[in-house]
A = this chain, B = another copy of it.
Amino acid sequence: MSKHKWVYGFGAGNTEGNKDQKNMLGGKGANLAEMSALNLPVPPGFTITTEACIDYGKQDGKLNSEVREQVLQAITNIEKDSGKKFGDNNNPLLFSVRSGARVSMPGMMDTVLNLGMNDESVTGIAGKTDNPRFAWDSYRRFIQMFANVVMGLEIEKLEGALDTMKESKGVKEDTELTASDLQELVTIYKKIILEDSGTSFPTDPQEQLWQSIGAVFQSWKNPRAQKYRELNGFDHDWGTAVNVQSMVFGNMGDDCATGVCFTRDPSTGDRRFFGEYLINAQGEDVVAGIRTPQPINNDSKNESNKNLQTLEEVMPKLFGELEDIYKKLEQHYRDMQDIEFTIEQDTLYILQTRSGKRTTAAALKMAVDMVEEKLLTRDEALLRINPEDLNQLLHPRFDPKAPKEVITSGLPASPGAVSGEIVFTSDQAVELTEKGHAVILVRQETSPDDIAGMDAAKGILTARGGMTSHAAVVARGMGKSCVAGCTALSISEKNKTMIVDGTTFGEGDLISLDGATGEVLKGSIPSIPAKITENFKTYMEWADSTRRLKIRANADNPKDSQVAIEFGAQGIGLCRTEHMFFAPERIMAVRQMIFATSVEERQKALEIIRPFQIEDFVGIFKEMDGLPVNIRLLDPPLHEFLPHSTEDKQALAKSLKLDLKVVEDRAATLFEFNPMLGHRGCRLGVTYPEIYRLQAQAIAEAAAISTKNGIKVYPEIMIPLVGIDRELEIIRKEVFNAVEEVLTQQKQKVAYKIGTMIELPRAAITADQIAPHADFFSFGTNDLTQTTFGLSRDDAGKFLPQYVGDRLLPVDPFVSIDQDGVGFLIERATQLGRKVNPKMHVGICGEHGGEPKSIEFCHKMGLDYVSCSPFRVPIARLAAAQAVLKEK
């Protein structure tokens, strides 16, 4: 058997991979290979495949001998090309070791730089570079990183030693320490390592390499990486690749630099080259946000860096080279690139390129611009944006008329206008959010340990870091509001205080962030709906002309209907009537109805509700002029309308002039062990036909009034929870008669439909029996998921997160349609229903109607429409278009 290929070289005349091999080489590795093939100045190296990571897991944390062999072979090749030698004392080849999964997981995986140094080679490097300080600084950085990442030492212990050293030398900055200071520090570091771990720091470069590769593979499984994958729905089985690359140094002196740049503005999408850099620094210094980075050009200037020198000014020739390269890369990848570069003694190296993270506004602008630039086709552009990301654009911004008190401002790292209580720890953010609070996570700077807290918080505020800091990058990815690098803030996470201009804010104090302007504001500020941009409109028009599925909204009042229309809804897919019964002036009549002891009494109570219902429908029909409105008749069990506390029951008894005991007895009679499976939906319609009759009459009367007013109405009357054909047959007749009677009386003609929700497995299974009585089917996927799984959404919280976390389920079935189970029923019901009734109109109105994967599934199943919450309508429009394009 020929040997499996575990290692792919790049550069040094031996580039074996390309950009399309991300699954095997990871994103970073594939792009390093691609750039090498483009003859860009990439330091040579090699990538160990994700397969090796999976194998490493299977072997219980051992690298197999083939991997080792192929690694050593790849090193030999680089040695030949560079003339340096791995483990040589005088002219050592040093490596960086970095993770690289198939998709970018910023900061989630660990990195080791300067690998290959030891007590001998540090002297060799000092001699060869004539820069002992650089050599010793590189060495102590390596030891520090290796001890932390590979050996698991707490970083604070070594940083503490560094701080002590600085204090004892009376200096403030690391750069002020001399070569001998650093040499002394190395000795202290080694001592700490030995004491703490019981083993010496390994001086054999090969040993260092194997341990580092192992540590990267191991880090694939660390909790924060797992959490990140869970948040993003990434598979735990992908594994990460390891990239081992010849070191180049941005920290050898003032002719060295390191930086990050974007080919367009990742925040606005503007077509301007944009980036940050630091002279005499290593890459992590830029990302970590410890020093304020300098702008690479004038376009990159902002409030906090506008007085710093640009790369264009300092190193004009190299900046010119970088410009050429960014243009080449953007043309080649046909997408905005996020590029890492290092300048070592006036030579430019590209260490990474990838499609850059961006705000959705930026993504939209880029997509529209790139179509204009003919870089992309419309179809390609439509596939460029994750529909979920549109969320960022669709949410409110601060009311410009509201009074605002700006406390301070920072970098506009990720747009969004949010208000919330200050919290200082990730845990607190999670805890309070679970309790229903809106919180703003305030941190000196964020780290990967903060992922859960960032996900929970409404927004993130940091004192340190630039536009490419951890906080900024992650927040943009999450679509969270973020203000970063707000240097005026003095934050003490320990004391739980944030001090600005002498004012102290504590935990629980309300603040607001405007991530689009960078402003931090006092108190909670009212917000107004998002304003829709021209780019958005253009993009959405492309989506609309591409998609086949119609998109409706779930709305049960005129206001929501209006929002839905603004967001492009083509009708209402679910108007829940029960919400109309809860309003204070109606609930008493509903309760009167519940306590009625005869049909007559019940009808009398219902009459009180009638005018309200008519008014509701008239309002909705007006907003939806010319569009279908699907109205679901009463669904919840009657006990949901009764009060729970004894106090409220007493009040009810008093107002209904009943004994408390009567109220309590009726409540006890209505009690259900499993309300979800109880006396609700059409079962109410069967036992209390007068309720549905009233609703049908109110719909018909509203339709007649609207028609007289010149409004075009297309009501669809939906009977919920049908499981048996006869239920629908009986109720349809009742509803039909009620509607016809009103329309005849009012002398109006209205094109209406009567249909049913398919939300019980039995309804889907026997859809051919139900179809003769239905003009339409609408899948109620919430209930259908509950019954198919035998899983109450209200109760699943105790175990469903574990199920998703442990991959018992790939995704929460209440978020994305379970295609194997629930999907089977949807397919069956659609096919059987259409077989019996070829005109059957079929849609979906559960929460899934706004979720892209579910929408793609609905498209494949041949449904006519999906219906979702008004804010998700644009997401659905794009997802529906993508479904068409993916099918091509």
A421 at the binding interface (Cβ < 8 Å): no
Q: Nearest chain-B residue to A637 (Cβ)? A: B795
How distant is the Cα of A787 from the Cα of B822 in the complex, in angstroms? 13
Is the C-beta of A592 less than 8 angstroms from some C-beta in chain B? no
Known: A766-B820, A821-B765. A760 touches B808 (CB 8 A): no
Alpha-carbon separation in the docked complex, A783 to B787 (Å) = 11
Asked if B678 and A802 sit within 8 Å, CB to CB, the answer is no
Contact B786 A760 (CB under 8 A): no
Is the beta-carbon distance between B673 and A676 smaller than 8 angstroms? yes
Q: Which residue of B lies closest to A762 (CB)?
A: B821
Given A686-B806, A765-B820, 10 further pairs, Cβ under 8 A: A673-B675, A674-B795, A686-B803, A723-B791, A730-B808, A760-B789, A761-B821, A761-B825, A765-B824, A783-B790
A56 → chain B closest CB, angstroms: 23
Q: How far is the CA of A874 from the CA of B723 in the complex (A)?
A: 34
Q: Which residue of B lies closest to A687 (CB)?
A: B799
Mask: chain A, 677-703; 1 = CB below 8 Å from B; 0 = not = 111000100110000000000000000
Chain A, interface size category, equals 35 or more
Is the beta-carbon distance between A788 and B787 smaller than 8 angstroms?
yes
A340 at the interface (CB under 8 A from B): no
A455 touches B (CB below 8 Å): no
A654 interface residue, CB < 8 Å from B? no
- Determine whether A798 belongs to the interface, using a CB cutoff of 8 Å to chain B: yes
Docked complex Cα distance between A787 and B787 (Å) = 5
Q: Nearest-CB distance from A769 to chain B (Å)?
A: 7
A807 to B762, CA, bound (A): 17
Q: Given B675, B808, B820, which contacts A686 in the complex, CB threshold below 8 Å?
A: B808
| B contact residues around A678 at 8 Å (CB) | 792, 795-796, 798
| CB of A727 within 8 Å of the partner chain | yes
Chain B CB within 8 A of A794 CB = yes
Does the CB pair B679–A799 fall under 8 Å?
Answer: yes
Determine the distance from Cα of A783 to Cα of B674 in the docked complex, in whole angstroms: 13
A-B contact pairs, 30 of them (CB 8 A): A672-B792, A672-B795, A673-B675, A673-B795, A674-B676, A674-B677, A676-B790, A677-B786, A678-B792, A678-B795, A678-B798, A679-B798, A679-B799, A686-B802, A686-B806, A686-B808, A723-B789, A723-B791, A724-B803, A724-B808, A726-B808, A726-B809, A761-B787, A761-B790, A761-B825, A762-B818, A765-B821, A765-B825, A783-B790, A787-B787
Question: A759 within 8 Å of B by Cβ?
Answer: yes
Contact B802 A687, beta carbon cutoff 8 Å: yes
Residues of B within 8 A of A802 (CB): 686-687
The distance in angstroms between the C-alpha atoms of A723 and B678, with both chains bound, is 22
Interface status of A605 (Cβ within 8 A of chain B): no
- Tell yes or no: A30 within 8 A of B by CB: no
A185 interface residue (CB < 8 Å to B): no
**A677 to B676, Cβ gap below 8 A?**
yes
CA distance A798 to B723 in the complex (A): 17
- Set B761, B769, B796: member contacting A761, Cβ < 8 A: B761
Query: Given A679-B799, A799-B679, A809-B724: A673 and B790 within 8 A (CB)?
Result: no
| A721: interface (CB < 8 Å) | yes
Type the 1/0 row for A586-602, where 1 means its CB is closer than 8 Å to any CB of B: 00000000000000000
Inter-chain contact B677/A790, CB cutoff 8 Å: yes
Of residues 700 through 734 on chain A, the ones whose CB sits less than 8 Å from some CB of chain B are 721, 723-724, 726-727, 730
Q: Which residues of B contact A686 (CB under 8 A)?
A: 799, 802-803, 806, 808
A790 x B723 contact (CB < 8 A): yes
Complex contacts, A723 vs chain B, CB 8 Å: 788-791, 821
Query: CA A675 – CA B724 in complex, angstroms?
Result: 24
Asked if B790 and A721 make an inter-chain contact with CB atoms under 8 angstroms apart, the answer reads yes
Q: Which residue of B lies closest to A821 (CB)?
A: B762
Taking a contact as CB atoms under 8 Å apart, the answer to whether A677 and B677 are in contact is: yes
Query: In the docked arrangement, what's the CA distance between A759 and B818, Å?
Result: 18
Which of B765, B803, B809 makes the CB contact (< 8 A) with A788? B765
10 closest residue pairs by CB, A with B: A677-B792, A674-B792, A762-B821, A761-B761, A760-B790, A678-B795, A673-B794, A726-B808, A674-B676, A672-B795
Q: Given contacts A683-B799, A766-B821, are A677 and B791 in contact (CB under 8 A)?
A: yes
Chain B, Cβ-Cβ closest to A761:
B761
Rounded to whole Å, the gap between the CB of A35 and the closest CB of chain B is 41
Task: Report how far A541 CA is from B727 CA in the complex, Å.
Answer: 45
Cα(A672)–Cα(B792), bound, Å = 9
The distance in angstroms between the C-alpha atoms of A788 and B809, with both chains bound, is 21
Q: Which of B727, B792, B808, B824 contacts A727 (CB 8 A)?
A: B808
Within 8 A of B (CB), among A48-73: none
A769: contacting residue among B675, B765, B789, B820, CB under 8 A = B820
Inter-chain contacts of A791 with B (CB < 8 A): 677, 723
Interface residues in A763-783 by Cβ distance below 8 A to B read 765-766, 769, 783
- For A808, the chain B residues whose CB sits under 8 A away are 686, 724, 726-727, 730
Complex interface residues of chain A between 718 and 756 (CB less than 8 A to chain B): 721, 723-724, 726-727, 730
Minimum CB distance partner of A768 in chain B: B820
Check A790 against B759 for contact (C-beta < 8 Å): yes
Give complex CA distance A182, B460 in Å: 105
| Chain A 99-117 interface 0/1 with B at a Cβ cutoff of 8 Å (1 = within) | 0000000000000000000
- Decide: B792 and A790 in contact? CB cutoff 8 A: no
- Among A686, A765, A806, the one with the most B-chain Cβ atoms within 10 Å of its Cβ is A765
- Which residues of A797-824 are within 8 A (CB) of B? 798-799, 802-803, 806-809, 818, 820-822, 824
- With both chains docked as a complex, state the minimum distance between the C-beta of A338 and any C-beta of chain B, in angstroms: 37
The residue among A727, A792, A802, A822 with the most chain B CB atoms within 10 A of its own CB is: A792
Chain B nearest CB, measured from A797 CB (Å): 9
Q: Which residues of B contact A795 (CB under 8 A)?
A: 672-675, 677-679
List of B residues within 8 angstroms of A790 by Cβ? 676-677, 721, 723, 759-762, 783, 787
Closest to A671 in B: B795
For A683, list chain B residues within 8 Å (CB). Answer: 799
Contact between A674 and B794, CB atoms less than 8 A apart: yes
Which residues in B have their C-beta under 8 angstroms from that of A824? Answer: 765-766
- A677 nearest in chain B by CB position: B792
CA distance A164 to B762 in the complex (A): 63
Q: How far is the CA of A789 from the CA of B730 in the complex (A)?
A: 18
Choose among A675, A789, A796 the residue with the greatest number of B CB atoms under 10 Å from its CB.
A789
Interface string of A464-476 (1 = CB under 8 A from B): 0000000000000
**CA A792 – CA B675 in complex, angstroms?**
8
A721 to B799, alpha carbons, bound, how many Å?
14
User: Distance (Å) between the CB of A430 and the closest chain B CB?
Assistant: 18
Q: How far is it, in angstroms, between the C-alpha of A796 and the C-alpha of B673 when the chains are bound? A: 10
In Å, the complex CA distance between A742 and B486 comes to: 63
Interface string of A660-679 (1 = CB under 8 A from B): 00000000000011111111
- Complex interface: chain B residues within 8 A of A673 (CB): 675-676, 792, 794-795
Distance A474 CA – B769 CA, assembled complex (angstroms): 37
CB distance from A820 to the nearest CB of B (A): 5
Establish whether residues B760 and A788, one from each chain, have CB atoms under 8 Å apart when the complex forms.
yes
Report Cα–Cα, A675/B795, bound state, in Å: 8
